[in-house]
Structure 1
Amino acid sequence: MTVHYAEAPVGRVSLSVNKTLVQGISRYLLNENVALDVTRKRFERINALSRSPNGVMISQTEYGGVPVEVVDPEHQSHARTVLYCHGGGFCIGSPKIHRELTAWLAKTLGARIVVPGYRLAPEHPYPSAPDDILSVYRGLVASGVSSKNIVMIGDSAGGNLVMVTLQRLKALREMLPAGAVLYSPWVDLRCMTESYVTKQAADPMLSGSWLRSMREHYCHGEGFNNSDISPVLGDLSAMPPILIHVGSEEVLLNDSLLLARHLKEQGGEVQLKVWEKLWHVFQAQIEIFEPARQSVHETRDFLASVF
C-alpha cells in the first residue's frame, strides 16, 4: 500500500478563503434539522448558479433500466468508460449537481463519464441505490463495453456504492472493472471511528450528526454491520487497483484509512493520499480550486496504469 501525505498547492482561490466558502455553503445545505425536500431544493438553487461546462457533450439515456447522464469529451475518441457514482448521503444529489466535476473528468481523462441517477432515500432506502448501480454496470457490459474498459469513481456515499458493487460482482463471479477511484468514501456506516471526534471541529463541511441522520434514512432498520451497507467490513480480497483521496480535516478520514488498511491486509493494490488541511470531496470545487484539479490529474495518471 502506498500512503502519501501532501500539502495542498496554492490556487486561484486561497485555501483559507475556499474553506470559509465551503463552511458557509455547507451550513446552508447540510443541516439535519432541515427537511430533505427543502435541502434538495437548496441544492438545485445553488446548482442553477453554475455555468454550463465547456468542451463536453451531455446526453440522457439509460442502462439496465436506470436513467443516466452521459458526459462525453468533445472531439475525442474514447473507448474507455467511467461509471461515476455521485455522493449526497444516499439522500440528495444528482448527475446534474455533479456536472462540473464530471465534465472536468471527461476532458481530463479523455473518457465517457456515465452518471447514474440512482434512487434516493428515504423514498427508496437500501438496497435501491446499490441495486441501481449494479444494473447500470451490467447494462454497460451488455451494451458491448468490456469490463476492462470500465473504471468506477465515487465520492462520499458514491464511494460506498462503488465498493459495494465491486464486492457484489466478485461474489456473483462477474467480471470486475479495471480499477476504482474513491474521493472521501463513506464506507463505514457504524459512524464510530476516531475521526468523528478528533476532526469534528476542523471539518468545515460534514458533521457526525448529519451523517447519522442520512444513515437512518438510507438503512431503514438494516444493520450497520451489514457489509452491503458498510463495505469496509466485507471481503476485500481480489479487488482491482484502487486509488483513495481524502482530506486530513474531515470526519470521514478514518473511513479511508481503515479501508486502505483492510485492502492491503487482504492482498489488494491500493494507493492512499491524504491531502493536508483539506476537507470532504474538495474535488467538487474544481472550477476555482487548484488542489481539486491536481487530484483529477492524479486520477488520470492512476487510471492510465489500469486501463
Structure 2
Amino acid sequence: MKNNKKHYPALSWQGRAINTVGRGMVKPVISRLKFSRRFMKFSQLGFDAVTLALPVPSDVHISRAQVGGVPGEWLITGRRVRSNRVVLYFHGGAYFFGSPRSHRAVTWRLSHYCRAKVLALDYRQPPDWAYPAPLEDAVRAYKALLDTGYSSEHIVFAGDSAGGNLALVTMLRLRELKLPLPSSAVLISPWGDLTCSGDSIRDNADKEPLIPLGALKFVSASYSQGYDPASPMISPVFADFTGLPPLLVQVGSNELLYSDAVRIAEQAEKAGADCQLQVWDRMPHVFHALAAWLPEAGLALQEIGAFVHGHLSDRDRDRHVRARATVVGRLDSAGKG
C-alpha cells in the first residue's frame, strides 16, 4: 500500500484572477438562483452552449458513440494515441448538468497526455433520472467495452466532481459483480460525500470561489431522492475501498469539496489501496477546464498523464490508432451537429 499526499503551490497571476472573479461575480450569482426542475433543464443547455466556446485543436477527432446502449463520444488527439488504451470519462456537473460536449476542454487534453482514446459518457441525469440511473449506465458501458475486446488492464476511469463520484461507485459495483476492475482511476475534485458533512463544507465556505453550499444540498437531494445519501454507493467516502485499483486524486485547497478528496484518500489508505492525493493550492473546483489560460491546470493534466503511463502495461507500447474518428463540426446552442 502506498498513500502519497503532495502539495502544489499556486504560482500564477491567472489563478489569483480566477479566484477573485469567482468569489466576486460568479458565486454571488449562483447563490441567488432558485433551483428547480425547469432551472435544471435550462442549465444543461446553457452550460453546453457556454463551454463549447472553449477552443478544441484541429487534430482532435471526435465521433458520436453508443456503447452498451449508452450515448457519448469518442475523442482522439494527435498521432501518439495507443489503440487499446481507453480513458472512460464521467463528466461532472453536480448530477444535473454537463455533458461530453461541455467537458471537451478536459477530455481532449486527457487523450493527449494519456495517449489514449477517451470515451466520454452522456449518462442519464436529474431531473429526468436519479440514482441509480447514472451508475447503471456506467456499468453497462464498461461491460460493453470489455465485450468489444478492450482489456481492463488498458482501461482507466476518470471523472470530475460528480463524475469522480460516479467513477468510484462504478468500481464498487463492478467489485460486487466480480467483474475485472480498470487499471486505475483519476478523480478530479471528486464529490465523495452527498451528505455534505465534510469539514471543508464549513472551513472553506468563504474561500470557495464557485459553489454555494445551498446549491450543493439541493442537487444532492435531487439525485439521491428515495435513497439514503449516506449509502456508500451514493457517498463513497463511507465505502470500503478494499481491492480497488490505484487512484490519483486532485483537488484545490480552497474547494468546498476539499475534505471529500482527503477522506477518499484516507479510505484508500485504510483499505490498503494505492492512492496519490495532490492538493493544488488555491485552485478552484475542476480548474483543469481552464488549461487554456491557467498554468497550474496544464501541470495537473501532465501529472495525470504521468500517472496513467505508470499504471498501464508496457504491452501496448507499439499499439497505435489505425483509424481516426470523424471530426464533429461546429455545434448549435443545443449541442447538436
TM-score band w.r.t. shorter chain: over 0.9
Q: Partner residue of 2:111? A: 106
Q: Cα distance, 1:9 vs. partner?
A: 3.3
Q: How many residues align?
A: 305
Task: Please tell me whether residue 41 in structure 1 is matched to residue 45 in structure 2.
Answer: yes
- 1:55 touches 1:107 (CA, 8 Å); kept in 2? no
Amino acid at match of 1:38: F
Q: Cα distance, 1:184 vs. partner?
A: 0.6
- 1:32 touches 1:209 (CA, 8 Å); kept in 2? no
Which of 47, 59, 62 is 1:58 aligned to?
A: 62
- Alpha-carbon separation, structure 2, partners of 1:248 and 1:18: 14
Amino acid at match of 1:33: K
Counterparts in 2 of 1:218-229, with a 5 A limit?
Answer: 218-229=223-234
- 1:179 touches 1:240 (CA, 8 Å); kept in 2? yes
Amino acid at match of 1:166: M
Counterparts in 2 of 1:185-196, with a 5 A limit?
Answer: 185-196=190-201
Counterparts in 2 of 1:131-210, with a 5 A limit?
Answer: 131-210=136-215
- 2:92 touches 2:164 (CA, 8 Å); kept in 1? yes
Distance 1:41 1:26, change over 3 A: farther
Amino acid at match of 1:202: K
Post-superposition CA distance 1:203-235 (Å, at most 9, x none): 001122111111111111210121111112112
Amino acid at match of 1:175: P
Q: Cα distance, 1:54 vs. partner?
A: 3.0
Q: Partner residue of 1:8? A: 10
Alpha carbon RMSD of aligned pairs, Å?
1.6
Q: Cα distance, 1:121 vs. partner?
A: 0.8
- Alpha-carbon separation, structure 2, partners of 1:258 and 1:91: 24
- 1:122 touches 1:217 (CA, 8 Å); kept in 2? yes
- Alpha-carbon separation, structure 2, partners of 1:98 and 1:28: 22
- Alpha-carbon separation, structure 2, partners of 1:165 and 1:31: 34
TM-score, normalisation: structure 2: 0.87
- Alpha-carbon separation, structure 2, partners of 1:52 and 1:284: 12
Task: Please tell me whether residue 73 in structure 1 is matched to residue 59 in structure 2.
Answer: no
Q: Cα distance, 1:56 vs. partner?
A: 1.1
Which of 94, 98, 104 is 2:99 aligned to?
A: 94
- Alpha-carbon separation, structure 2, partners of 1:279 and 1:189: 19
Q: Cα distance, 1:100 vs. partner?
A: 1.2
Q: Secondary structure at the match of 1:305?
A: helix
Amino acid at match of 2:15: L
Which of 286, 291, 296 is 1:291 aligned to?
A: 296
Q: Cα distance, 1:70 vs. partner?
A: 0.4
Post-superposition CA distance 1:38-58 (Å, at most 9, x none): 322331331243333332100
Post-superposition CA distance 1:142-195 (Å, at most 9, x none): 110000000001100000001001111111111000000101100111111111
Q: Secondary structure at the match of 2:311?
A: coil
Q: Cα distance, 1:30 vs. partner?
A: 7.3
Distance 1:121 1:102, change over 3 A: same
Q: Partner residue of 2:18? A: 18
Distance 1:158 1:32, change over 3 A: farther
- 2:269 touches 2:275 (CA, 8 Å); kept in 1? yes
Distance 1:139 1:29, change over 3 A: farther
- 2:52 touches 2:101 (CA, 8 Å); kept in 1? no
Q: Cα distance, 1:28 vs. partner?
A: 4.8
Q: Secondary structure at the match of 1:14?
A: helix
Bigger RCO (CA 8 Å, 6+ sep): 2
Amino acid at match of 2:245: P
- 1:180 touches 1:242 (CA, 8 Å); kept in 2? yes
Q: Secondary structure at the match of 1:287?
A: coil
Q: Percent of counterpart pairs with the same letter?
A: 31
TM-score, normalisation: structure 1: 0.95
- 1:31 touches 1:210 (CA, 8 Å); kept in 2? no
Q: Secondary structure at the match of 1:245?
A: strand
Task: Please tell me whether residue 118 in structure 1 is matched to residue 119 in structure 2.
Answer: no
- Alpha-carbon separation, structure 2, partners of 1:5 and 1:74: 31
Amino acid at match of 2:74: V
Q: Cα distance, 1:277 vs. partner?
A: 1.2
